[in-house]
Amino acid sequence: ETGVTQSPTHLIKTRGQQVTLRCSSQSGHNTVSWYQQALGQGPQFIFQYYREEENGRGNFPPRFSGLQFPNYSSELNVNALELDDSALYLCASSSGLYTGELFFGEGSRLTVL
């Protein structure tokens, strides 16, 4: 069974640029959530995708957007990058909306200069 994989593991961008982060969910999982973890903080919920549609969103501006594909893999896109967007971005998958248990990837570390 393949776990949650994320790419890239590390990347550096400059303010104003755009970034796309990718996530392959665990086999059999149809729900993907994205979290932002700033240094020294707990993860914060960005949004969740279920069956290719966004079905829940945290307190993040519209420049954070996402996609989920028919194979349940997902992308997180961030436009107009700001310095405060520097963080570890975690993808988590689950086998349904309310299973309770999320399986996390190792994250993508984004640095914005």
Site string for another protein, 61-100 (x = CB under 8 A): -----------------------------x-x-x--xxxx
Choose, by CB under 8 A, the member of 42, 62, 70, 71 that binds another protein: 42
In whole angstroms, the minimum distance from the beta carbon of 13 to another protein comes to 20
For the sheet with 19-24, list strands across it.
5-7, 19-24, 74-78, 64-68
What are the Cα distances from residue 7, in Å, to 48, 55, 69? 18, 23, 16
In whole angstroms, the minimum distance from the beta carbon of 36 to another protein comes to 11
Do residues 81 and 18 lie in contact, with contact meaning Cβ atoms separated by under 8 Å?
yes
Window contacting another protein (CB under 8 A); options: 11-19, 38-46, 60-68, 72-80: 38-46
Token pair for 90: 């975690």
User: For residue 106, which of 27, 21, 19, 18 has the smallest C-alpha distance?
Assistant: 21
Q: Using CB under 8 A as the criterion, which residues of the chain lie in contact with another protein when the complex forms? A: 4, 31, 33, 35, 40-45, 48, 50, 55-56, 58, 90, 92, 94, 97-107
